[in-house]
């Protein structure tokens, strides 16, 4: 899989904010969506948010609505995730992903994405 490069993350207290960035220029596959996933210990990887790089349409998991904001740069080579009002349940490794989706309804499916980052740890303490 082609590599994306994530930055940001770290440790914060509950109620705090963090920002993640993702560089996608290393993804040589065609793509029209970028997304953020997360995986907590012992749990499956889950979709957090996705954005269409052509229309700007954003989609959020229920757990992220109202607290997280996904965005991209104008060329679609960078993706960002702004997280606020963080909770201990948000603790996980966060992954950036890029893919070519024919149906935005499948945005949270891991198999829809061809490029992935190596992940960045986000730890929220109570």
DSSP type of residue 88: G
pLDDT at residue 60, as a whole number: 98
Distance of alpha carbon 117 from alpha carbon 69, whole angstroms = 19
Q: Which residue has the tokens 């991209």?
A: 72
From residue 68, give the alpha-carbon distance in Å to each of 19, 42, 87.
9, 23, 12
pLDDT at 88 over 70: yes
- 69, 74, 17: which is closest to 48 by C-alpha? 69
* Strand 92-99 with 10-13, pairing: unpaired
CB 104 within 8 A of CB 92: no
DSSP type of residue 75: T
Q: Which helix (H) or strand (E) holds 10?
A: strand 10-13
pLDDT at 113 over 70: yes
What is the rounded average pLDDT of the residues 43-55? 96
From residue 47, give the alpha-carbon distance in Å to each of 37, 74, 126.
4, 23, 23
CB 110 within 8 A of CB 46: no
pLDDT at residue 74, as a whole number: 86
The two structure tokens encoding residue 76: 């679609």
More confident residue, 92 or 2: 92
- Residue 115 binned pLDDT confidence (cut-offs 50, 70, 90): very high
């Amino acid at each position: 899989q082609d590599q994306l490069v994530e930055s940001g993350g770290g440790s914060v207290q509950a109620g705090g904010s963090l920002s993640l960035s993702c560089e996608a220029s290393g993804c040589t596959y065609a793509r029209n969506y970028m997304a953020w996933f997360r995986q907590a210990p012992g749990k499956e990887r889950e979709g957090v948010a996705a954005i269409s790089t052509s229309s700007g349409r954003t989609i959020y998991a229920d757990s992220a609505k109202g607290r997280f904001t996904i965005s991209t740069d104008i060329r679609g080579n960078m993706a960002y995730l702004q997280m606020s009002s963080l909770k201990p349940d948000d603790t996980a490794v966060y992954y950036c992903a890029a893919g070519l989706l024919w149906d935005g309804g499948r945005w949270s499916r891991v198999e829809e994405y061809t490029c992935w980052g190596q992940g960045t740890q986000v730890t929220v303490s109570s």
